[in-house]
Structure 1
């Protein structure tokens, strides 16, 4: 089972389609609808954006008070999601299950290489620290690695739509400097309203056309924050 912790409808649908495309290309299987679970009422974007804003004002570092609070907040999200996903599955989770933590950063990079600047990149070491703490807490509760899910974070800059635009033809560096709303959403869906995009099936048609196995390489090439995500999910020992 694959649980996706995300803040909005478009985030869930994009990630679901991306994971299905990766699995189809590298594992020769199409994931069934019921294998995905979306968590409701988990406000990931507020916590992530507040962290970025505080870091901008007060600095960043693993021992800052706001970083410690951010790690605790992520741990709480993961702990809640872990229990909910097991309940939804109807049995215990295993290392064959996946838990995705996603939130839009709403931060413009200006150019792709800016991702590697410390201020932007720092959110990922902190997220991995939070994930390590989650595993440590579960071990102390008596779990073993065989009964814990794979947890992967994905924080796109500025929003999930950048992954979709990277999979579409004629991707350009300029899209990194687009605001999430209205510019990038308008570019990808043809409207900056996700409800309209979904109800008129712009979103579904765009994903069906562009988030496909042969376009995964384009996402990997242009979106560095998605590379570890793709690399891990595409790993196949049986080849």
Structure 2
């Protein structure tokens, strides 16, 4: 994911990335399990409320780690991307019709707003980064599939099935040292962004937002690693 983001912003000017090791995927899994089990996807249902509170806490921690990583104050020209795999397969044509997708993004947007509205953040907006969510359905591999212009219908596949189809294995740790670069990362180029924008709806807000990054010096990536 960091490679994808850097590919987007590098041509616009000097930019560096920092990987912020906060595990949003744990919160997402808890939400996925509880919401699915109870059939509760409403914004004010317990699974959603718990996810929002968890994300608010994660953002506070990630912003502090981001500041420490770049050894200076943050500014409004810095970008923090909250990214994770949803582990839920969704077809492209269903994008605006599946309740859980809409709810997840509204939860993250609400958590970001709550962070900005915290009393200690209200008077120093110029020292807060732009925070953008990116949840991929079912996984980051949809970016690779789109970039490679694969001949099969990859939207709607389970994450493990998509990995198997793309890389010949469901566990990326099984790839040789140069395997991930050769089979995935090398395809994340500027030329691939148009295809990604077309095929991966969840990437569109981020792609549009990062056109603004010609003014950015640093961006942080909330990694699930």
TM-score class, shorter-chain normalisation, is: 0.7 to 0.9
Tell me how large the CA RMSD over aligned residues is.
2.1
Counterpart in the other structure of 1:186: 164
What number of residue pairs does the alignment pair up?
Answer: 213
Aligned residue for 1:155, secondary structure, equals strand
Which protein, 1 or 2, shows the higher relative CO under an 8 Å CA cutoff with sep ≥ 6?
A: 2
Shift, 1:192, TM fit? 2.2
TM-score by length of 2: 0.85
Query: Would the aligned equivalents of 1:102 and 1:153 in 2 still touch at CA under 8 Å?
Result: yes
Are 1:219 and 2:196 counterparts?
yes
Counterpart of 2:3 (choices 17, 29, 37) is: 17
Counterparts of residues 58-207 of structure 1 (less than 5 Å): 58-109=39-90, 111-117=91-97, 118-137=99-118, 139-141=119-121, 143-172=123-152, 174-181=153-160, 183-197=161-175, 199-207=176-184
Query: Would the aligned equivalents of 2:2 and 2:19 in 1 still touch at CA under 8 Å?
Result: no
Aligned residue for 1:154, secondary structure, equals strand
Q: Hey, which of these two has a bigger chunk of helix by percent?
A: 1
TM-score by length of 1: 0.81
Structure 2 gaps, min length 5: 216-225
